Amino acid sequence: MKKLLSFIIVLVLFFSCKKNKLGGDAVIEGNMKHHSKAISRGSVFIKFNAKEFPGSDTTIYDAKVRPDSLGYYKFEVYKGNYYIYGFGYDFAIPSPYEVAGGVPVKVRTNEKVVADLPVTEKH
């Protein structure tokens, strides 16, 4: 009986863990910037369970937001490791205007992490 009860408790704990999805009690937020200029025309992506750059193919990322006019973005997440990747357009530089970059982020429960996203010219 004790083994069955222990097994049920382990299953409940395992399935109640809410990793790998949005909506948690922690926050990753920041501003996408090219040097000191805010990049508002673009997208910011998040990859769950990632400590290193997973690549620029945005179809492999788990969620996406659009930065506001000041380049601000925000994800509500659960504790874990994430990779934030963004790209956009800086119309103050000569062609090809597109800028991109990323940062790894580790978040603890109830933590607010400011992760400004520096982007550089994409070649």
pLDDT block averages, 10 residues each, the chain of length 123: 50 49 94 94 96 96 97 97 96 83 97 96 80
Nearest-angstrom CA–CA distance, 34 and 29: 17
Collapse the DSSP code of 107 into the 3-class scheme (helix H, G, I; strand E, B; otherwise coil) and give the result: strand
Contact residues for 111 (Cβ-Cβ < 8 A; gap 6+): 26, 27, 79
β 42-48/80-89 pair status:
antiparallel
Q: How high is the pLDDT of residue 106?
A: 97
- What pTM was estimated for this model as a whole? 0.82
Which residue stretches of the chain are H helix?
A: 2-16
Q: How high is the pLDDT of residue 94?
A: 76
Q: Is the dihedral of CA 16, 21, 48, 77 positive or negative?
A: negative
Q: How high is the pLDDT of residue 116?
A: 97
Q: Which domains does the chain have, with CATH numbers?
A: 19-121 (2.60.40.10)
